[in-house]
Copies of this chain bind each other. A is one copy, B any other.
Amino acid sequence: MKNKAVIDALSALANEHRLAVFRLLVQAGPEGQPAGAIAEALDLPASSLSFHLAHLNRAGLITQSRDGRSLIYAADFTAMSGLVGFLTENCCGGASCAPVVAPTQKKRKAS
């Protein structure tokens, strides 16, 4: 994964709404969701959502396909794993990060 691609992906996810969209699509699985459903679930104006979807799409984190009038968006797991791979490569690859990742199972309800 190129440096530029990593930055694009990071800045795409570095936004409240886009992170929410992405998580929603990850949960929705490979079948994805139409834009309208996302807008309703996240309570976002259509034009705003479209802006964010385009951003995520440009960054390669989600894919777009048409089904009739609806545009279906789905998370691109390959890109996601590439990003995580890049981060772990630069963090855990050499050092003390890896062992810390696993125990992150605790479900805390911090505000």
Contacts and interface: CB of A to CB of B under 8 A. Distances in A.
A91 B110 contact: no
A29 B94 CA distance: 9
Dominant SS at the A interface?
Answer: helix
- How many copies of this protein are present in the complex? 2
B110 A81 contact: no
Given A91-B80, A101-B81, A14 B23 contact: no
A6 interface: yes
How many residues of A sit at the interface, in one of the four size bands? 35 or more
Given A10-B19, A19-B6, A110-B2, A92 B81 contact: yes
A87 interface: yes
A78 interface: yes
